[in-house]
Amino acid sequence: MSTASRLGPRSTRVGRQLGLGVCLLFAVLLSGCPKPQIHRFTTMPPVACPGDEVTLHWETNGAVRLSATPDVAALGAKDDAGKQTVTVSGPTRFRLEVSRVFGLKKEMTESEVLSPPKDLEYGIVDAEGEGHFTCSAELGGLESSFQLDGAHISPNVRIGQVRNMNVRALVIRKGEVSETVGEGAAAPGFEGQPAQGLWQLRVPLEEGESCEDALESVDGRLIIKLQLSCPR
């Protein structure tokens, strides 16, 4: 006689009820578990040359797995929050996956690091009267500046070309180099310089022109296009 026959129908019902209870308990545990969340995932800088280091920074609420395309060494399983510095060989797409409850719930995001050659536009915008411009008759021009640092590009990124994207002449200064550049023209004097640093922009006032008219003529913004490159 089989074991099932000896136990009888009552024992069989108890076994089924126990199995159902386990399934219900498992379902309750799953439904009560917080959904995986990625609070932060950044790669800095987002533009880097082959052989440069970038830092990954993440904050989640579960077990983390990091991967990259192409492959990057020393990624894989990580704590729910942390940072790691890695070396890239060129344009790289990083992927973060966070999971909870035996891997049945997952969340994923990606962040990309680009490598030159690449064109990027940088500029200054006058936002609702709280602009970043300085202008006076004494200065004789409309002036502003912006800083490129490790949050934007790696130290090895160089300038291939700088172009004035405004409708009038622009004086561009970085370090010891200063060039007056016509509308749509390039400024060759910056070629080969590090792209990181303070960039200063100036629009000379024409005779009788007010600061308000100068600002309006550039549509409230000053833009230059940087053609980025890497050391050869």
Q: 124-176 pLDDT, tens per residue?
A: 876 554 568 888 878 799 999 989 999 999 999 999 999 999 999 999 999 99
Question: Residue by residue, what is the 3-state secondary structure of the chain?
Answer: CCHHHHHHHHHHHHHHHHHHHHHHHHHHHHHHCCCCCEEEEEEECCECCCCCEEEEEEEECCEEEEEEECCCCCCEEECCEEEEEEECCCCEEEEEEEEECCCCEEEEEEEEEECCCEEEEEEEECCCCCCCCEEECCCCEEEEEEEECCCCECCCCEEEEEEECCCCCEEEEECCEEEEECCCCECHHHCCCECCEEEEEEEECCCCCCHHHHHHHCCCEEEEEEEEECCC
Mean pLDDT of 174-184: 95
Per residue in 43-96, pLDDT (tens digit) is: 999 999 999 999 999 999 999 999 999 999 999 999 999 999 999 999 999 999
CATH number, domain 118-229: 2.60.120
- Residue pair 97/64 in contact (Cβ under 8 Å)? The answer is yes
Residue 123 corresponds to which tokens in the numbers above? 């500029």
Q: Categorize the per-residue pLDDT at 4 as very low, low, confident or very high, splitting at 50, 70 and 90.
A: very low
pLDDT at 34 over 80: no
Residue-range domain boundaries for the chain: 38-113, 118-229
Q: How far apart are CA 161 and CA 151, in angstroms?
A: 21
- Residue pair 172/162 in contact (Cβ under 8 Å)? The answer is yes
CATH T-level assignment (fold) for domain 38-113 = Immunoglobulin-like (2.60.40)
User: What is the per-residue pLDDT for 166?
Assistant: 92
